[in-house]
Amino acid sequence: MDYVIEMLNIRKEFPGIVANDNITLQVRKGEIHALLGENGAGKSTLMNVLFGLYQPEQGEIRVKGKPVKITNPNIANDLGIGMVHQHFMLVDTFTVTENIILGKEITSKGKIDIKKAEQEVRKISDRYGLAVDPKAKISDISVGMQQRVEILKTLYRGADILIFDEPTAVLTPQEIKELIQIMKTLIAEGKSIILITHKLKEIMEVCDRVTVIRKGKGIGTLNVKDTNPNELASIMVGREVVFKTEKKPSVPKQEVLEIINLVVNDSRGVPVVNGLNLTVHAGEIVGIAGVDGNGQTELIEAITGLRKSESGTIKLNGKEIQNMSPRKITEAGVGHIPQDRHKHGLVLDFPIGENMVLQTYHKKPFSKNGILNFKEIYRKARTLISEFDVRTPSEYTLARALSGGNQQKAIIGREVDRDPDLLIAAQPTRGLDVGAIEFIHKRLIEQRDNGKAVLLISFELDEIINVSDRIAVIYEGKIIAIVDPKETTEQELGLLMAGSKRKEAGVGTND
C-alpha cells in the first residue's frame, strides 16, 4: 500500500499527561484522512509532532516510505508537509504576500522582490481557486480569507501533504462549502490531506478514511463508507451520544433584555446595527440566526460594553446599560461567552485557574484589602474544572497549553457559574466535540429553567433550532423575523437570513 505518511507507535508526554500514547496513523496518497477524537484526545499534539513542533519520546515517522526525523517545521516543509493550524499564525499588519513569503523571501540583489512574490502568490491562488488578493492586509480580510492565506503559505512552500487542524470551526456555512471545494481541488491535483474536525457530517461528506483516538490512545481506522455518524460518535466518546436535546416548553417571565432602536457602527463608522429591536425574557432562550456580517458581532459588543452604541437603548432588568463600562455591565448581571476565545475569553499566559476569576478576582473571597487569595481562587478553579469536565493536567497549567475545546469549556464554566441574569453565548460550541456539545446545550437549557435569560448566537442552524425557544432572524442590522423553532426548517431560516422573505409579525416581542 502506498502510504505518504506513517506515524508508528507515537508517544508524546507533557508534564502530568501522556498526550499521545502509542498512536499509529497511516495516510494513503490522494486521500482525505480524518482524525477524530474528543477535546483533549491528542489530535493537535499528534499533528504538531508530524510538523516538527514537538519531538516524540517514542515511535517512528515515515514519509513516502522513508524513515525520517522531523526536528523542526523547516524539515517538515522540505519533506512536503504543510500545516494550517487551529489558531492562525499570521502577522496582522503584514500583507497576504508578506505573510506567505515570510522566511522564504524571493530576493534579487539582496532586496526582497515583492512584485515577483505577488505574481507567484497570484498564480498559486488561481490554480487552486483560492481567490486571495496578494496585496490585501491581513487585518482587513475575513477569517475565511485568512485561512486561505495559511493554505497558500503551505502550497507556496511546495507542500503535497496538508494538515488541516479544525479548519471549519471558525468558518461560516458558506465558507465551509468553499473550503470543501478547495480540498477536492487539492486532492485532484495529487495532494493528500489530514483533516481534523468535530463535525461528523463533514467526515461523511469528504473523507475516505477516519482514524479515531480517545484519551491519547488510537482506537482504530475505519473506511468512511462503512460507518455512520452515530457509530463514529459512540466510538469516539465511548458511549451513546444524543444529538437532539430534550427540553420542556419554556415559561417566559419578565423582560430581562430589552433593546429599542439600537444603532451601532462598525470600525469603519458604518451603522451595521441599524434600528434593531429585540426582547429576551427570563426563562427563555432566544437564538439569533443570520449570515455572518449582518451586525451580530457589533450587537454583542454593544450589549457587553465592548463597543459604543450610537443611539437607541439597551435595558437590563429595566435599567439602561448602553455605553456603560464592561465591568459595570458584567456586575449588572450579564455573562458573555465570546466568539473569539483567545481575544476576549482568556488571558492565555495566565494559569487556567486564574482565568476562572477574571471578573471576580477583586471581590471576596478571591481578594481582601487588595491582596489576592490564591487558595480560594484555585479552590474555585478546581470546582469548575471538574464540574465542566475541563481536561487539563492541573489548574496551574497555562491557558495556552489547554486544547482548544477545553479552553472553551473553561470559559463556559466561568460564565455559567456566575449565574448571570442574561447569558450571551456567541458560537458557544465552536470547536467542541459531540459529547461536549450535548453537555453545553444541557447547561444552557438549565440556565433557562432556572429563570435566566439566554441569548444564543450561532452559525449552526441545527443548534439554533434545537436549543432556542424563539429564533430572531437578523438581516442588515435589524431583526426582520421572529420564528418558532418548532414550526420552521433550516430551509425557511436560510431564506429569511438571505433577506428574501419577510415576516413582520411580532418583531421583537413575544406577542
Q: List residues binding ligand ATP (CB under 6 A).
A: 14, 17, 19, 37, 39-45, 86, 391-393, 401-406
Chain position whose Cβ is nearest to ligand ATP: 405
DSSP of 260-294: EEEEEE-TTS-EEEEEEEEEEETT-EEEEE--TTS
From the list Mg ion, ligand ATP, none, which binds 153 (C-beta under 5 to 8 Å, kind-based)? none
Gyration radius of the chain's alpha carbons: 24
Grid look-up 439569533 returns 288
- Taking the complex as a whole, the smallest distance from the CB of residue 71 to ligand ATP amounts, in Å, to 17
Nearest to Mg ion of 44, 125 (CB atom): 44
Q: Return the one option of Mg ion, ligand ATP, none that residue 40 interacts with (CB less than 5 to 8 A, by type).
A: ligand ATP
Calculate the CA dihedral of residues 89, 92, 98, 102 and round it to 10 degrees. -30
**Least distance from C-beta 203 to Mg ion, angstroms?**
16
**Closer of 86 and 274 to Mg ion (Cβ):** 86
> What's the closest the beta carbon of residue 10 comes to ligand ATP, in angstroms?
12
Q: Which is nearer to Mg ion, 45 or 95 (CB)?
A: 45
Shortest distance, position 407 Cβ to ligand ATP, whole Å:
8
Q: Round to whole Å and give the CA distance between 279 and 470.
A: 11
Three cell numbers, residue 179: 473550503
Contacts of residue 434, Cβ cutoff 8 Å, sequence gap at least 6: 198, 200, 233, 236, 237, 241, 243
Can you spell out the DSSP letters for 142-169? -HHHHHHHHHHHHHHTT-SEEEEESTTT
Strands 192-196 and 32-36: parallel
State the minimum distance, in angstroms, from the CB of residue 414 to ligand ATP: 17
The nearer residue to Mg ion, 266 or 389, going by C-beta atoms, is: 389
* Residue nearest Mg ion, Cβ-based: 44
Q: Which is nearer to ligand ATP, 297 or 408 (CB)?
A: 408
Select the binding partner of residue 14 from ligand ATP, Mg ion, none (C-beta < 5 to 8 A, by kind).
ligand ATP
Q: Which amino acid is residue 360, in one-letter code?
A: T
Q: The C-alpha cell of 33 is what?
A: 484522512
Residues that bind Mg ion (CB under 5 A): 44, 86, 403-404
- Work out what residue 37 binds among Mg ion, ligand ATP, none; the CB cut-off runs from 5 to 8 Å by kind: ligand ATP
Which H, E and C letters describe 186-210, residue by residue?
HHHCCCEEEEECCCHHHHHHHCCEE
- The minimum distance between CB 165 and Mg ion, in angstroms, equals 6
Q: How far is the CB of 392 from ligand ATP (least distance, A)?
A: 5
Closest to 481 (Cα-Cα) out of 467, 466, 464: 464
List the one residue out of 468, 471, 412 whose CA is nearest residue 437: 412
Which of ligand ATP, Mg ion, none is residue 406 near (CB under 5 to 8 Å by kind)?
ligand ATP
Nearer to ligand ATP, 213 or 472 (CB): 213
In the complex, minimum distance from the CB of residue 264 to ligand ATP, in angstroms, rounded to a whole number:
32
Nearer to ligand ATP, 252 or 431 (CB): 431
Q: Which is nearer to ligand ATP, 215 or 443 (CB)?
A: 215
CB 153 within 8 A of CB 162: no
Identify the three-state secondary structure at position 413: helix
